[in-house]
Structure 1
Amino acid sequence: MKSLIKSTLRMLFMLLALPCWLGFTLQSALMGKDQATTSWSQLLSLLPGLLGVYYRAAFYRLIFRETSQNTVIGFGTLFSQHRTHISSGVYIGPQCNIGMCRIQPNCLLGSGVHIMSGKGQHNFSDPDTPLKDQGGQFTQVVVGEDTWIGNGALVMANIGKKCVVAAGSVVISEVPDYAIVGGNPAKVLGSRKASDS
């Protein structure tokens, strides 16, 4: 019965999200999909409670490719890039900032997690050119399935499956599967795999 109620609510919220999807589509045609994603994300991040959770899940299901409606996206969470994928069973806590990424199934992101679009977003090699004019390169960051990223972590590189990233960590290098990492920069502290002893 509970799953039937949830399914019905998801269908209802898909219908309710259609006007915002239409607005997003029009803005995308005028200003580009990334600008539209940022604008609508800011607006919808302010919807409180369960209403906000269901509405955001429906809206992002409509605008992002390969995105599941079976997600929880917390209050105040912002998305800045249209090339984002959110798989089924993902929890994104409040006040997160998500760039271009692919979050695989059953991941947990604590509050205030930032996933940037790679670590090359800003060039700074020419001291005679203002930083804002030096450009950069955006790359899609992958967060492997069943990974937990603790509160306030900054992620700029791929994370393998079934990992744990300690709160406040700064991930600048790829994290292997099953790793437990922490620190700034994040280093491997252990493994979630049982030892072969």
Structure 2
Amino acid sequence: MLPLAKRTIRLLAIAIVSPLLLTHWLGSWVSGADRSLESHSQFLSLIPGTTGSYLRVAFYRFALAHCDPSVTISFGVLFSKTAARLEQNVYIGPRCMLGWVRLGPDVLLGPAVQIPSGPHTHGVARLDVPIREQPGSPRCIDVGADSWVGAGAMILADVGAQCVVGGGSIVTKPTRPRTISAGIPAREIGKRGEATTLPERPQGTESPVTQADEVRAERIG
């Protein structure tokens, strides 16, 4: 798409979401910015396709601490903290849930990634007080530039620049730059630019899915 066309679409998107920005600012005054953001985020998350992404970005450019116009925010994405920062060319996959985060330039989040505001969003020390009433210690989680977080991962600690986090992993400790991590809890299994330490399937063996496909094919034949 030509730059002029993109700028025109972005300006049109801002005009469309302007009523929501007004209700968000009013809601922030009444119930607090984060709570207002949550309700507006849930509404905006339901708009599908490229149109939805443009409208979400238009809203978050004004509702978050920073949201670059080049960001892509897919269907079903929810935000809970206005302090979140999204840098250039960030891609956020469908149904991600994000709290107080900073996503560096060119970060890619696969579907259903969760990045809450650190590992201590609730206090748990006291047994005479319900957890919901115990204050936590939220903190910003930083995902470094040019990192890729796989589908379904949960990020509870900082991710270094140019890292890869495997799908379904839970990051509980900071990862070093240019590393590949996977598992629960996530551990370093390789480095960018080098062969990973993931075990390879022995030669001559096949996955159950492949075997089932072959059996099905024989029956059809």
TM-score bracket, normalised by the shorter chain, equals over 0.9
Mapped to 2, the partners of 1:120 and 1:193 lie a distance apart of 34
Structure number with greater Rg is 2
Q: CA deviation at 1:23?
A: 0.8
Give yes or no for the alignment of 1:111 onto 2:120.
no
Mapped to 2, the partners of 1:67 and 1:48 lie a distance apart of 20
Map of 1:136 onto structure 2: 136
Mapped to 1, the partners of 2:74 and 2:61 lie a distance apart of 15
Deviation string, structure 1 residues 104-144 (Cα, Å, up to 9, x no partner): 11110000000010111122222333222222111011110
Map of 2:166 onto structure 1: 166
The normalised TM-score by structure 2 is: 0.85
Map of 1:69 onto structure 2: 69
- Report the residue type matching 1:82 in the other structure: T
Q: CA deviation at 1:166?
A: 0.2
User: Gapped runs of 5+ residues in structure 2?
Assistant: 196-221
Map of 2:175 onto structure 1: 175
Mapped to 1, the partners of 2:48 and 2:192 lie a distance apart of 35
Q: How many percent identity over aligned positions? A: 38
Deviation string, structure 1 residues 34-68 (Cα, Å, up to 9, x no partner): 00110100000001111101100110011112210
Mapped to 2, the partners of 1:36 and 1:126 lie a distance apart of 29
Structure 1 residues 167 and 194, CA gap change in structure 2 (3 angstroms): closer
Q: CA deviation at 1:194?
A: 5.3
Displaced runs of 4 or more, over 6 A: none
| 1:8-47 mapped onto 2 (5 Å cutoff) | 8-47=8-47
Mapped to 1, the partners of 2:18 and 2:169 lie a distance apart of 38
- Report the residue type matching 1:79 in the other structure: F
Mapped to 2, the partners of 1:37 and 1:78 lie a distance apart of 9
Mapped to 1, the partners of 2:132 and 2:143 lie a distance apart of 28
Deviation string, structure 1 residues 66-119 (Cα, Å, up to 9, x no partner): 210211111111001111011110110111100001111111000000001011
Mapped to 2, the partners of 1:126 and 1:16 lie a distance apart of 47
The normalised TM-score by structure 1 is: 0.95
| 1:72-151 mapped onto 2 (5 Å cutoff) | 72-151=72-151
- Report the residue type matching 1:182 in the other structure: A
RMSD of aligned alpha carbons: 1.3
Q: What SS class does the counterpart of residue 5 from structure 1 fall into? A: helix
Number of aligned residue pairs: give it: 195
Give yes or no for the alignment of 1:51 onto 2:51.
yes
Q: What SS class does the counterpart of residue 145 from structure 2 fall into? A: coil
